[in-house]
Amino acid sequence: FLLPAILCLLTLLLPPLSRGAPMSPAERITQAYNLALSMQENMSTLLQTYLQAQGSPFSDPGFSAPELQLSSLPPADISFKTWNALDDGERLSRVQGAFLALTQHLQLVGDDQRDLNPDNPILLAQLRDARLRAQGMLGNVAAIMTALGLPNPRAEDTLGLVPFGASAFERKCRGYIVIREYGHWTDRAVRDLALFKAKYPS
């Protein structure tokens, strides 16, 4: 079942450059919005699969540790006033920055889980899917920024020197935070792109 899912994903993720005719900003926004929705649909499954594989207490029903934070990930929480006041460029660049960090972090989480749960191919595949989707979102947001004529900031290495000496427990927690924040950022991206959809109707 993984192959059709990946093929399906690729249609959403492929950078729009490969298309013959250039897409309008509205089309690009719709495409990014659809991708965000599909990411949102898969979120709870991914988090559930991940926590289930980490053992108790992570796998206990209702596990939640909001106190765990990762400084290398930008927080998705934002006050409504601030969020509402963001201009297009800032709004998109924040989403882009977050998904750039998420892409790198999801790669890291995938590597961590290959050590911790090498016998759980479903989890590894879902993490790979999530990373591909995050990359797709990154590409889509970049395409929107280009289409809207907004400056496209250069990609940075957000991960830095952080990860390599982490203990297994830290890696489990880190994975949890990354997936949780991935969900939060996906929710925020849906809202941001909905705003753009309204602003740039096709």
Partner 1 sequence: MMDIFLCLKQPSRMVDSKRMRMTSNFQWILLTFLLLYLMNQVSSQKKRTPHDLKCVTNNLQVWDCSWRAPSGAGRGAAYEVCIENGSHSCYRLEKNTKIPALSPGDHEVTINFGSSISKFTLNEKDVSFIPDTPEILNLSADFSTSTLHLKWNDKGSVFPRHSNVIWEIKILRKKNMEIVKIMTHNTTLNGKDTVHHWSWTSDMPLECATHYVGIRCHIDDPKFSGHKEWSNWSLLKNISWSSDSQTKVFPQDKVILVGSDITVCCVTQEKVVLALIGSTNCPLIHLDGENVAIKIHNISASESSGTNVVFSVEDNMFGTVIFAGYPPDIPQKLNCETYDLKEIVCTWNPGRPTSLVGPRNTSYTLFESFSGKCVRYKRAEVPTNESYQLFFQMLSNQEIYNFTLNARNPLGQSESTLLVNVTEKVHPHTPTSVKVKDINSTAVTLSWHLPGNFAKIKLLCQIEINKTNSVHELRNITMKGVENSSYLIAVDKLNPYTIYTFRIRCSTKPFWKWSKWSNEKQYLTTEAIPSKGPDTWREWSSDGKNLIIYWKPLSINEANGKILSYNVSCSSDEETQSLSEILDPQHKAEIQLDKNDYIISVVAKNSVGSSPPSKIASMEIPNDDLKIEQAVGMGNGILLTWNYDPNMTCDYVIKWCNSSRSEPCLMDWKKVPSNSTETVIESDQFRPGVRYNFFLYGCRNQGYQLLRSIIGYVEELAPTVAPNFTVEDTSADSILVRWEDIPVEELRGFLRGYLFYFEKGERDTSKMRGLESGRSDIKVKNITDISQKTLRIVDLQGKTSYHLVLRAYTDGGMGPEKSMFVVTKENSVGLIIAILIPVAVAVIVGVVTSILCYRKREWIKETFYPDIPNPENCKALQFQKSVCEGSSALKTLEMNRCTPNNVEVLETRSMVPKTEDTEIISAVAERPEDSSDVEPENHVVVSYCPPVIEEEIANPGADEAGGASQVIYIDIQSMYQPQAKPEEEPENDPVGGAGYKPQMHLPVTSTVEDLAAEDDLDKTAGYRPQANVNTWNLVSPDSPRSTDSSSEIVSFGSPCSINSRQFLIPPKDEESPKSSGGGWSFTNFFQNKPND
Using the rule CB under 8 A, which residue among 30, 72, 103, 117 binds partner 1?
117
**Smallest gap from residue 172 Cβ to partner 1 (A):** 7
Cα end-to-end distance, the chain, whole Å = 34
Contacts of 165 (CB under 8 A, 6+ apart): none
Calpha distance 95→122 (Å, rounded)? 28
Tokens of 58: 């992570």
Short-list 140, 169, 138, 174, CA closest to 156 = 138
**Smallest gap from residue 169 Cβ to partner 1 (A):** 4
Name which of 136 and 175 has its Cβ closer to partner 1: 175
Name which of 60 and 90 has its Cβ closer to partner 1: 60
User: CA neighbours within 13 Å on the CB side: how many for 184?
Assistant: 16
Using the rule CB under 8 A, which residue among 2, 14, 155, 168 binds partner 1?
168
User: Is 143 exposed, middle or buried (CB count within 10 Å of its CB: 0-12, 13-18, 19+)?
Assistant: buried
Name which of 22 and 121 has its Cβ closer to partner 1: 121
Using the rule CB under 8 A, which residue among 121, 149, 157, 160 binds partner 1?
121
Q: Does 109 bind partner 1 (CB under 8 A)?
A: no
Name which of 78 and 168 has its Cβ closer to partner 1: 168
Using the rule CB under 8 A, which residue among 9, 58, 158, 195 binds partner 1?
58
Q: Does 83 bind partner 1 (CB under 8 A)?
A: no
Q: Does 167 bind partner 1 (CB under 8 A)?
A: yes
CA 159 from chain centre, in angstroms, equals 15
Tokens of 183: 């969900």
Q: Does 174 bind partner 1 (CB under 8 A)?
A: no
Q: Does 118 bind partner 1 (CB under 8 A)?
A: yes
Calpha distance 152→157 (Å, rounded)? 16
Contacts of 38 (CB under 8 A, 6+ apart): 12, 133
Name which of 13 and 106 has its Cβ closer to partner 1: 106
Which residue ranges make up the site for partner 1 (CB under 8 A)?
53-58, 60, 65, 67-68, 114-121, 167-169, 172-173
